[in-house]
Amino acid sequence: MRLRILHHDRCFDGACSAAIFADFFRKTVSADADIDYAGLFHQANQVFPDELFPGDENAIVDFKFAPHPKLTWWFDHHQSAFLSDQDEAHFRADQSGQKFYDAGYRSCTQFIADIGREHFGYDPSPLAQLIHCADIIDSASYDDAEQAVMMPEPSMKLTLVLEASQENLCRKVIPMLLDESLDSIMRRPEIAPVFDALFQRHLESIEIIRKRASCRDGVVYFDLGDVDLSGYNKFIPYHLFPDSVYTVSVVDAGFRTKISVGSNPWAPTEPSKNLASLCERYGGGGHQRVGAISYPPGELERARASASEIVEELSAAAAAS
């Protein structure tokens, strides 16, 4: 049996979700399944062509729902999980018992582990450490901004590698997550030097953002549209501006123009805006505390205009809280 697992690409939780689903599938469905992995990125005009689903079984984890007849498994925990009301209705009408959604989960990895245990008798305990790390990373449950930016733990280091390496390493790393500790993976000769180079670039990116960012009324804003810095650490703004509440940035990611919108996990006042709902108004989405908007390539001016509107709205919210 051939299984295709589609996952949120360049994302630690996406990679961990793919790994735990592979483990679940082999232990409860088909022990000798031939599994391959493919990453998905959020795009302005999201489509799910037939060629994404070549398997006898096809799964999407940690990504939006696809109303495709060959999609046999689905798990997601994002508020913005459906591209349309019709897609949500398609999901609600599904009778397979193999498609699951719960926006209350901090990580999709934990969600898959719990559903596997509760509905299929799966034992996720051998991967408990991986599940724990995915929960910490995806919910940004760090002690403080310095820990998030300086990355002392292997899971944090691997997150940088997966998100920012020039060679997309998710497909290579996912099988490693099932057989090795995160510390062992980070010591691998094909991983360690990648991290070292990326961490040096990360330190340089802190200085770039320091020079470009400004904070007004609790909102940090910076524009990286003219530099190659699409994979910056999203906690840098809170490290530089610890009293900020929100951050908004514009990035040219090549295949898309991206607006990132986030809230400070350590803010002196509790963020009041649901950022997923805010981003949905511009065709994006995410979670309550973090969201993003994708426009087509080359639409920097449109992104800058939208970002300016978002900054004004968040500034008003921060001032009112």
* pTM for this model (two decimals): 0.85
Residue 274 structure tokens: 């649901």
Range 232-258 average pLDDT: 94
Q: How far apart are CA 285 and CA 292, in angstroms?
A: 6
Question: Does residue 149 have a pLDDT over 70?
Answer: yes
Q: What is the mean pLDDT of the chain?
A: 95
- pLDDT (tens digit per residue) in 190-231: 999 999 999 999 999 999 999 999 999 999 999 999 987 767
* Top-level class of domain 214-320: alpha beta
Delimiting residues of CATH 3.10.310.30 domain(s) in the chain: 214-320
Range 258-280 average pLDDT: 95
Question: Does residue 321 have a pLDDT over 80?
Answer: no
Question: Does residue 23 have a pLDDT over 80?
Answer: yes
Q: What is the pLDDT of residue 210?
A: 97
Distance, first Cα to last Cα, the chain:
54
Delimiting residues of CATH 3.90.1640 domain(s) in the chain: 2-148+166-180
Give 2-148+166-180's CATH code, choosing from 1.10.3280, 2.60.40, 2.115.10, 3.90.1640.
Answer: 3.90.1640
Residue 255 banded pLDDT, cuts 50, 70, 90: confident
Burial class (CB in 10 A: 0-12, 13-18, 19+), 125: exposed
Short-list 179, 175, 172, 134, CA closest to 155: 134
Q: What is the pLDDT of residue 242?
A: 96
Residue 124 banded pLDDT, cuts 50, 70, 90: very high
Residue 181 structure tokens: 């500790």
Name the strand (E) or helix (H) holding 277. Answer: helix 275-280
